[in-house]
Chains A and B, each alone.
Chain A
Amino acid sequence: MSDVRPVQMSSPVLTVRQVDAYHAITVVAPGIAERFRSGQFVAVAVGGEHSSMLTRRVFAIHEVKPDYGGTVEFLFTVRGRGTAWLAERRSRDLLDVIGPLGRPFPLPRDPVNCVLVGGGAGSAPLFPLAHALRRRGCRVDFVLGAATASRVFSAITARRIAETATFTTDDGSFGTRGRVTDVLDQVIDDACSDVVYACGPMPMLREVTAAAARHGIPIQVSVEETMACGTGVCMSCVVPVVGEDGITRMARACVDGPVFRGERVRFDDVGTIPFDALGAPGWKARASGEDRAREAG
């Protein structure tokens, strides 16, 4: 669990605006802004005090500014009643916000070359990361992909911050037609990247992790998993992750993540309980088998 203590605040909305195909809300939340580290997220209550919608909606923090004592901006897409309600907020409305939540992106100690890979709205948390890396003297290269041009988030900002910015779209309406992984190997080679940071859908993270492995460089992924509380109590956002001891656990994306080392996430088993995970039917058999192997060896 992250050491940074989150706070729960009633935060006034500053602005609600459209950014490309997304909505962006900025709220005044000094306690969250001053604690924030890139990769962390907020959990927002929707529908008002007596809402029938009981689970929180969780969004990566896209930008933090010192204005008004500290503001926080997050992006969202209208997907259901909760996000539709959020899109209807106006300035000065109050939002019940908890944050900053989750394990942030670890930053390199030395100035190294970093490639940041984002898919769709998953690009959002990479922007504060890019700023943090630049402040440390790191080279930043962006690779951003989406289904179509309007869903590529903040291409202009990406170009401004990064040494290079490469874009891909499924329909070819912007940048290269195809997936981020179609161009990633080339970017890693050209930029002599030392580390990869990625955020986006699980299948994309799996492919990006494979690419990092091919180049023998470390990768940090921020997983997108549905969360109901964001604080670690509901146990809904579990992902099979291999621990340092080699044992797979059903890790909670909200408090154990959302950032994990890519090679630790068992992408092929996401959505299942792997047979050998701690507490799954096969884990004990496997553990005792290993003991036997050690004894034999």
Chain B
Amino acid sequence: MIPDLRIGLGEWELANPVMTAAGCAGSGRELARFFDIARIGAVVTKSVTLEPRAGRPAPRIAETPSGVLSAVGLQGPGIDVLLQRDLPWLLSRGARVVVSVAGGSADEYAELARRLSEAPGVAMIEVNLSSPDPARGGRHFVQDSAAAARVVGAVRENARADIPVFAKLSPDVSDLVGLAADCVEAGADGLAMINTVRGMAIDADTLRPAVAGGMGGLSGPAIRPIAVACVYQVHAALPEVPIVGMGGVRTGADAMEFLLAGASAVAVGSALFHDPSACVRVVRELERELVDRGVERVGSLVGAAHRTAGAAGVAAE
């Protein structure tokens, strides 16, 4: 038996539930040297901005136990280069392309959505809400539900109707379920979670923070339990809303954990730093997990933890 790995993400169907995570796959070309990028569910681009961005100074990345602390600062060539160079290249390779967008105001996000809607082939827009809002002293949009909803609404209004819009949520908020509900209310077709968790490491030799930005975003297996909890919680509250789960996915078993918690797809992030072919390996391992359990359709796993062990979990509380 070959299990059916196709998965629905709202209206959109993916060949399999494994995607790259924003900011961890370069322009796609880097990873295409190691595997056929058409074989994974989708490639998610680095968050694109209207103008080029130089990012933050080095050191940008530090290794922490089972984690990666990063403060790259959205270095990228801007939307023009994405549309002229990277997007056509990805499409020519048969990849399904999700474009992650980031901006400094709802207007900038709206403009990005308009530009992407004019280009052929964008399969989905992911709204990176962990970008600083200059109007509010540099706090991230995601830290204020109303600001996040405004941005998501602006993208939904300006994006072509057939392009799904997913809001990427951060765990560093006081009311994640409320934020998720507000984003959906504002027009998000689905949710991507989680973005990195704020963290810090200090180098005992230089006596300085290990990344030049001071604090950074923690990713990797160290944050997986946090991510699974977020997906579980939001899926319980909003069971109809499709979720792309991410945070420390390194193996097929990790991917399955996210599906059981309620994600319909998963994204592989910093594991790609360690293993550039991680995405295809996770697909293969996930298939193995299904075969071993006699599961015929990957979709049947989505949210399964809520239907079975969930009841026992509630009883134990």
- Residues of A with Cβ closer than 8 Å to B? 1, 5-6, 8, 45, 52-56, 96, 98, 225-226, 228-229, 231-238, 250, 255, 270-273, 277-280, 283-284
A-B contact count (CB 8 A): 118
User: Is B75 within 8 A of A229, CB to CB?
Assistant: no
Q: Judge whether B63 is part of the interface by a CB distance below 8 angstroms.
A: yes
Chain B residues with CB below 8 A from A272, complex form = 57
Could you tell me the distance between the alpha carbons of A226 and B29 in the complex, rounded to whole angstroms? 22
| Count of chain B residues with a beta carbon within 8 Å of a chain A beta carbon | 42
Can you sample 8 A-B contacts with CB below 8 Å? A8-B277, A54-B220, A54-B221, A229-B273, A233-B31, A233-B273, A233-B276, A235-B61
User: Is A55 within 8 A of B52, CB to CB?
Assistant: no
Q: Could you tell me the dominant secondary structure of chain B's interface residues?
A: loop
Q: A8-B34, A8-B277, A55-B63 are in contact. Are A232 and B26 (CB under 8 A)?
A: yes
Chain B residues numbered 45-91 whose CB sits less than 8 Å from any CB in chain A: 51-61, 63, 65-68, 70, 72, 75-78
Could you tell me the distance between the alpha carbons of A262 and B78 in the complex, rounded to whole angstroms? 28
Could you tell me the distance between the alpha carbons of A5 and B53 in the complex, rounded to whole angstroms? 28
User: Is B55 within 8 A of A5, CB to CB?
Assistant: no
Could you tell me the distance between the alpha carbons of A99 and B263 in the complex, rounded to whole angstroms? 35
User: Is B75 within 8 A of A238, CB to CB?
Assistant: yes
Chain B residues with CB below 8 A from A8, complex form = 34, 275-277
Could you tell me the distance between the alpha carbons of A55 and B273 in the complex, rounded to whole angstroms? 6
User: Is A98 within 8 A of B276, CB to CB?
Assistant: yes
Q: In angstroms, how far is the closest chain A Cβ from the Cβ of B189?
A: 27
User: Is B276 within 8 A of A229, CB to CB?
Assistant: yes
How would residues 24 to 40 of chain B score, 1 for a CB under 8 Å from any chain A CB and 0 otherwise? 11100111011000000
Could you tell me the distance between the alpha carbons of A235 and B273 in the complex, rounded to whole angstroms? 10
Could you tell me the distance between the alpha carbons of A98 and B33 in the complex, rounded to whole angstroms? 11
Which partner residue on chain A sits nearest B55 by CB separation?
Answer: A250
User: Is A250 within 8 A of B75, CB to CB?
Assistant: yes
Sample of 17 further A-B pairs with CB below 8 A, known A96-B275, A235-B61, A279-B78? A8-B34, A52-B65, A54-B66, A225-B58, A228-B68, A231-B31, A232-B26, A233-B25, A234-B72, A236-B59, A238-B55, A250-B55, A273-B54, A273-B57, A279-B52, A280-B54, A283-B54
How would residues 7 to 37 of chain B score, 1 for a CB under 8 Å from any chain A CB and 0 otherwise? 0000000000000000111100111011000
Chain A residues with CB below 8 A from B67, complex form = 54
User: Is B58 within 8 A of A236, CB to CB?
Assistant: yes
Chain A residues with CB below 8 A from B276, complex form = 8, 98, 229, 231, 233
How would residues 254 to 284 of chain B score, 1 for a CB under 8 Å from any chain A CB and 0 otherwise? 0000000000000000111111110000000
Chain A residues with CB below 8 A from B56, complex form = 273
Most buried by A among B59, B273, B275, B276: B273
